[in-house]
Amino acid sequence: MSNEPNRIRVVIADEHPVFRQDLRLSLESEPDLHVLGEARDADGVIRLARESRPDILLLDFALSQGLELKALNELASHCPPVRVVVMVAEIEKAHLVEAFRLGAHGVVLKQSTPSILLKSIRSVLAGQYWLESDSVGVLVEALRESLARGNGAKSPKEYGLTRREVDIITKVASGQSNKEVGEEFAISERTVKHHLTNIFGKVGVSSRLQLALFAVDQHFIGSKTPSSSLRPLQSDDA
């Protein structure tokens, strides 16, 4: 395990040894990356991540199916947290929704070029959510199909949400930053963050992406909202 503070510490989790080896060689060719270890099954993923405390967990989607959400949430609560990038063979609607429900900060194709993979790792480490722009529309469509059809949607009042809070939810879920939301409503970024803290507590989420999932599930984002108006979500610290 590297003690160099400026190196990004990575754990690779995939059931195919040849893929793991090739990925490891590619990552370790970068001077600021260090692969702490590899896991080939779900049990090994959690054990290795707990022991090595990586910055980034590169997790094959197939292995993610064997993991408990509680275990991944535990990793995310570490200080510093373990950020998960899910690797998929192809972009499928159901895979995207499931990956982000598991708490992933990014989804990347397994056949992506090394430069794309490295960009996804660095973006996620910087607090952003990673999804290639070509796939954003697929994610939005998936959310609408798998979530917005639900019949259990509650009204904002049942969550104790104010009209302003609902407006902020829709803006954040569409990809606007705190600064952009503040400018639109003529309030400070600090006030936007305060609203988001209250919103997170009321609806039971802990990230902007989870808030977007909630917004679609509860019909706060209309089904006619054009996909082109929705952008990848960034952390904005709240």
Q: Residue 121 falls within a domain, yes or no?
A: yes
* Same domain assignment for residues 122 and 167: no
* Same domain assignment for residues 19 and 101: yes
pLDDT at 157: 72
* Same domain assignment for residues 194 and 113: no
Is pLDDT above 90 for 10?
yes
pLDDT at 229: 45
> In this structure, what CATH number is given to the domain that contains residue 172?
1.10.10.10
3-state secondary structure of 50: helix
* Same domain assignment for residues 195 and 106: no
Boundaries of domain holding 55: 8-131
pLDDT at 77: 65
Q: Residue 87 falls within a domain, yes or no?
A: yes
Range in 53-67, 145-159, 222-236 with the lowest mean pLDDT? 222-236
* Same domain assignment for residues 68 and 158: no
Q: How confident is the model at residue 139 (pLDDT cuts 50, 70, 90)?
A: low
Q: Residue 61 falls within a domain, yes or no?
A: yes
Mean of pLDDT over the chain: 79
Distance, CA of 8 to CA of 27 (rounded, Å): 10
* Same domain assignment for residues 106 and 162: no
* Same domain assignment for residues 121 and 154: no
* Same domain assignment for residues 108 and 188: no
The phi, psi pair for 36, rounded to 5°, reads: -80, -30
pLDDT at 226: 42
Distance, CA of 11 to CA of 1 (rounded, Å): 11
pLDDT at 73: 66
pLDDT at 104: 80
Domains in the chain, number:
2
How many residues are there in the chain?
238
How many percent of the chain have pLDDT more than 70? 74
The phi, psi pair for 68, rounded to 5°, reads: -90, 140
Write out the DSSP string of 128-187: B-B--HHHHHHHHHHHHHHTTT-S-PPPGGGGT--HHHHHHHHHHHTT--HHHHHHHHT-
Q: Residue 238 falls within a domain, yes or no?
A: no
> In this structure, what CATH number is given to the domain that contains residue 30?
3.40.50.2300
Per-residue pLDDT tens over the stretch 57-83: 999 988 877 776 666 666 766 667 788
Distance, CA of 152 to CA of 165 (rounded, Å): 20
pLDDT at 27: 94
Which of 99, 131, 163 is the last residue before a domain boundary? 131
* Same domain assignment for residues 124 and 41: yes
Q: Residue 236 falls within a domain, yes or no?
A: no
Q: Residue 138 falls within a domain, yes or no?
A: no
Q: How confident is the model at residue 56 (pLDDT cuts 50, 70, 90)?
A: very high
Calculate mean pLDDT across residues 181-198: 93
Sign of the dihedral through C-alpha 116, 121, 124, 128: negative
Per-residue pLDDT tens over the stretch 86-99: 998 887 777 777 77
* Same domain assignment for residues 159 and 114: no
Distance, CA of 210 to CA of 227 (rounded, Å): 18
Q: Residue 2 falls within a domain, yes or no?
A: no
Q: Residue 3 falls within a domain, yes or no?
A: no
> What ranges in 42-147 are assigned the alpha helix state H?
42-52, 61-64, 69-76, 93-101, 114-125, 133-146
Per-residue pLDDT tens over the stretch 20-54: 999 999 999 999 999 999 999 888 888 898 889 99
* Same domain assignment for residues 30 and 123: yes
* Same domain assignment for residues 67 and 121: yes
Predicted model pTM: 0.62
